[in-house]
Amino acid sequence: MENLIIFNARVVTPVGFSARRGGEMGKLRIIDNATVEVTDGTITYVGENRGENRDGYYHRYWHYNARGKCLLPGFVDSHTHFVFGGERAEEFSWRLKGESYMSIMQRGGGIVSTVKATRASNFVRLRSKAEGFLKQMSAMGVTTVEGKSGYGLDKETELLQLRVMRSLHNDEHKRVDIVSTFLGAHAVPPEYGGRTDEYVDYLIREVMPCVVQNDLAEFCDVFCEQGVFSIGQSRRLLLAAKEMGLALKLHADEIVPLGGAGLAAELSAVSADHLLHASDADIQAMADKGVVATLLPLTAFALKEPYARGREMIDAGCAVALATDLNPGSCFSGSIPLTFALACIYMKMSIEEAITALTLNGAAALNRAGSIGSIEVGKKGDMVVLNTDNYHFLPYYIGMNCVNTTIKEGVLYPTP
């Protein structure tokens, strides 16, 4: 944590301490020739330029001249699976030949093949691989990332993945904060083949209590999908999680329209994610209940699936967040620039809406809209400096990085 004073910036930020919904998503505050002051890692002033040596006060601050550059809130990647063993490049090549993601999973590949590699790995190897991803994310402007377990599917390895995330979060030199999610219900492991209900019982009785007692996760998520966990099984698991104090997320309506988005509304989940096939009624239910609709356009791109209906969701009054879904199977990409471009080009979101979706609404999807996601007094000094004073470069630079420097709690990390 540092004291930092930024001069001459073009501040571009959503405003508020909760998710922005519907028409509010496109409204940004833009301040030219701005000063932003960060004291002990927290924003203490945002507004018109202040004199550099106001009473000598700023001698205790690092100075940064942002003339000709935009300053945005740090990006929040609110849905990833960045801790895992192994790779699945051969699976990718099968998909290129026409095999589907679900058929690979049904014949014992997919998530379960990463489970084998993760069980065979160890703390040190999982941690150093995950740390490599965090460095790349930071260079693209990410200051907070959500990470999920779900490649252990047994008590020992699920806890191992969550401990890796905790250790990365507690690292005093970290560039990215980590919010952890328990996703034991990501797939049914081979030892429970054909016994999904018993596996759900095992998660509720044996794994979840350990996760909660050791304070290893804030959220519980489930892959609610045909042939994986049904609506009934997902509801049972999530109700137990809620009872134990976890907040809720769902992988919903990713491959088929099963009704996961409606379940998210019924249970007042914090977010429902993917939503490629969410129905009109369920979209309206999410808007009414304030469930954040987290869209992951890189996954639709990689699986050659239709994009989620971002425009319709915003028009229906939803709070939409954008995230990468970085994982070794459906989407091996943590590219923030490509996420921006796909959201604007294919999901018909405006550039302003996409910025809100990757900052304040991403924060809301992690229950953190009160402390991150906008450049406002009282929030963390987590910000992104662009190479340009024109924020339209974010989607216009397709898949190319226009981040000059990432600022984490007032510490500057120039993009390598």
Asked if 114 interacts with ligand NIG (CB under 6 A), we say: yes
State the minimum distance, in angstroms, from the CB of residue 237 to ligand NIG.
15
Beta bridge partner(s), residue 35: 47
Any binding-site annotation on 277?
A: no
Question: For residues 383 and 37, is the Cβ–Cβ distance under 8 A?
Answer: no
Any binding-site annotation on 101?
A: no
Among 223, 229, 301, 307, binds ligand NIG (CB under 6 A): 223
Asked if 406 interacts with ligand NIG (CB under 6 A), we say: no
Which structure tokens are listed for 220? 């519980």
Q: Which stretch binds ligand NIG (CB under 6 A): 43-51, 189-197, 200-208, 322-330?
A: 322-330
Give the CA count within 13 Å in the CB-facing half-sphere of 300: 26
State the minimum distance, in angstroms, from the CB of residue 80 to Fe ion.
8
Among 141, 152, 297, 328, binds ligand NIG (CB under 6 A): 328
Rule CB under 6 A: which of 9-68 touch ligand NIG? none
Q: Which stretch binds ligand NIG (CB under 6 A): 107-115, 306-314, 355-363, 364-372?
A: 107-115
Which structure tokens are listed for 84? 């895992």
DSSP-derived secondary structure for 228-239 = SB-HHHHHHHHH
Q: Which CB, 260 or 328, lies closer to ligand NIG?
A: 328
Question: CB 216: neighbour CB atoms within 10 A?
Answer: 18
Q: Which CB, 296 or 314, lies closer to Fe ion?
A: 296
Which structure tokens are listed for 320? 């939409």
State the minimum distance, in angstroms, from the CB of residue 395 to Fe ion.
22
Question: For residues 294 and 367, is the Cβ–Cβ distance under 8 A?
Answer: no
Summary count for the chain: helices (H), strands (E) = 16, 16
Which structure tokens are listed for 202? 């095992």
Q: Which CB, 117 or 212, lies closer to ligand NIG?
A: 117
What secondary structure, in 3-state letters, does 353-408 show?
HHHHHHCHHHHHCCCCCCCCCCCCCCCECCEEEECCCCCCHHHHCCCCCCEEEEEE
Asked if 118 interacts with ligand NIG (CB under 6 A), we say: no
Residue 328 binds what, of Fe ion, ligand NIG, none (CB under 5 to 8 Å, by partner type)? ligand NIG
Which structure tokens are listed for 78? 């609110």
Residue 299 binds what, of ligand NIG, Fe ion, none (CB under 5 to 8 Å, by partner type)? ligand NIG
Q: Which CB, 253 or 325, lies closer to Fe ion?
A: 325
Element (H, E) at 250: strand 247-252
Give the CA count within 13 Å in the CB-facing half-sphere of 187: 21
Q: Where along the sequence are the contacts to Fe ion (CB under 5 A)?
A: 325
Indicate the annotated binding residues: 79, 81, 88, 151, 186, 251, 254, 325, 327, 329-330
Q: Where along the sequence are the contacts to ligand NIG (CB under 6 A)?
A: 81, 110-111, 114, 223, 251, 254, 299, 325, 327-330
Indicate the annotated binding residues for Zn(2+): 79, 81, 251, 325
